[in-house]
Structure 1
């Protein structure tokens, strides 16, 4: 496979994203004002509650079966590793750069949703190393849907809570979400003092245990309020659960999926709504990037550090992880599947991070700058990494 073919197959999907993003920036111009700040916030809510769960659920229902989920068992592990390694690198960056409190949630690892755009487009290119375009497209949609669903679960549980906790802490460290040091410090002192007092007075063991249990309950309650466990069941997570059940449970699948399914109009309608999700989010990102051009006061070393971690360092770890999985025969030598696993480590930050910052009203302008640099440079890095990954997976077989 020649260099030109590889470059064409790798660059076309990225160019599509850039074109839609540029359109979003144009619509957000003050002179146009179709996608202004208030409009973007309202559309973000629509994406969060309607488009994202429909997109995740409908694609999973159509492409995931019990057999395919077993064959792709390593993908959830791979995505988990992207979050773990990304978070570890993010914590190192936090230590080095010492950013403001409300930005810490934006720096830690997350997974973008570009595979649903990139993979089908790659299959259509004549330089693609993945064989027949129709077969490639079918499997690509399954891989991309599973990747997006699992990524959504991690994003709206782990990353969502990080952004929420740090954002709320920057506004009010004494509310019902964040427990301030003034609350936790005396609590711990009281626990120690009560134990010392009870020991000195030779109080029986039952009283000691009661004190400890009461204090542990208080600590657990504080942690639960801080974490907001309700976000585990964010709309995208619910969509993923529903999609998995429809795809895996045969009676439900026969009822909703396929040209002869009695209730196919329901799934088709959900799929139609979900199709609007990715272009809508991409347009919003374009509008948010316009704010990044105007600056936000965020330090340049922090931005460059985030970009370096996401687009340069993390993909190197991805190569090691996937080669290790292949060496230990945890995955089959399927070029498309290996390409997806590698690609998950090379994606820019998730577009839904912008949705989160607007939902919480903290770090919006800084997020815009980060996204501007990340997606601007990703147009180069993602093309180069995709070329390298295609060459690499071709050498595996």
Structure 2
């Protein structure tokens, strides 16, 4: 395929996202107030608890089998690498830009976590439906691509609320105890838990016991800080349900297929899940409107985050995916390789704003970062998608 054909196939999905996002911003204007802050909150709950789980479960159940699950083992590794490399690049950015202390967790979070769910669920099916798509039959491409995106959403949610949440928590300095609102530093916790309370010396066994008890207490405090409810989000449970149905042959025969006795369950879940993509895109547009109000964040920091996410991470992604392919860790499916590469080129995860709200810092700055990174994503995603299509085909 020629460059212009690939460019057209890559640009059309991004333009569709921009149009729907702009509509969401328009509906969120104070003068319109159809998608105001209160409305977005209710719609977000609907997407979080109903639409996304239905979409993830129905797509994974219809496409994932035991054999394909084994073939997709590298995707969770690839997603984890996007988080680790992104956070490492974000740490380098904090050294170079020297931002205020309260912005360091925000920079690390936005550099580490990409929008691995909603953006892929929007872009991949749209790419498959384009006439110039290099991925073959549009129906097969759409089915497989949506399954890849659904798996990406489920795995990304786990890493976001385990890795990134705790990365931001540790970099935020004093952690807030929701039970008694007292600030506790990690250093004080560690000191108090490892030192015995009494001054007199104890035998070796006694000292060892005290240290073990201190380590146990410290581990308990860390586990309390982990947001397990967020890790096991409805989308994660939807992924588990989809995996169970898809990989267990008797259940698959009952629910999946045109002759399945309980196919109405799959059809209903698909019907509900199809609402997720347009609704999420509208809500993203409404959320980005807050960034127009501005904040005190400097332009170099915003440009630095954009450079990490749209220049250095995709370059690292090419090395990772090409290296895995060279060593035989991946099967040469162009669509699968395209999704793996695209996971390195996505804008920051919208849930970073939620995480920053939990720690009460950098909320207005986060809105500005989201606004400009998502505006720049329209250009970067088009260019990188075009290059990735050429690279895998």
Q: TM-score, normalised by structure 1?
A: 0.88
Alignment-derived partner of residue 71 in structure 1: 71
What is the distance in 1 between the residues matched to 2:161 and 2:113? Answer: 10
Q: TM-score, normalised by structure 2?
A: 0.89
Range with bigger deviation, 188-197 or 325-334 = 188-197
What is the distance in 2 between the residues matched to 1:82 and 1:384? Answer: 19
- Residue-by-residue CA offset, 1:325-372 (whole Å, 9 max, x unaligned): 121121122222221111111111123434555677754432221111
What is the distance in 2 between the residues matched to 1:29 and 1:365? Answer: 17
Report 1:1-397 matches (<5 A).
1-96=1-96, 97-101=98-102, 104-105=105-106, 106-112=109-115, 113=117, 114-162=119-167, 172=176, 180-181=184-185, 184-185=187-188, 188=191, 191-192=194-195, 197-198=200-201, 203-354=202-353, 356=355, 363-394=362-393
What is the distance in 1 between the residues matched to 2:204 and 2:354? Answer: 51
CA RMSD of superposed structures (Å) = 2.7
Range with bigger deviation, 295-304 or 93-102 = 93-102
Deviation at 1:38, TM superposition (A): 1.9
- Residue-by-residue CA offset, 1:282-303 (whole Å, 9 max, x unaligned): 1111111111111122222221
Structure 2 stretches of 5 or more lacking a match? none
What is the distance in 1 between the residues matched to 2:262 and 2:172? Answer: 43
The change in CA–CA distance for 1:41 and 1:74 in structure 2 (over 3 A counts) is same
Deviation at 1:99, TM superposition (A): 4.2
What is the distance in 1 between the residues matched to 2:190 and 2:149? Answer: 47
What is the distance in 2 between the residues matched to 1:109 and 1:377? Answer: 17
What is the distance in 2 between the residues matched to 1:49 and 1:347? Answer: 24
Deviation at 1:133, TM superposition (A): 2.5
SS in structure 2 of the partner of residue 59 of structure 1: helix
How many residues align structurally?
388
- Residue-by-residue CA offset, 1:150-208 (whole Å, 9 max, x unaligned): 223222433345557778957x4685698623x8527616734669842xxxx333322
The change in CA–CA distance for 1:60 and 1:195 in structure 2 (over 3 A counts) is farther
Structure 1 stretches of 5 or more lacking a match? none
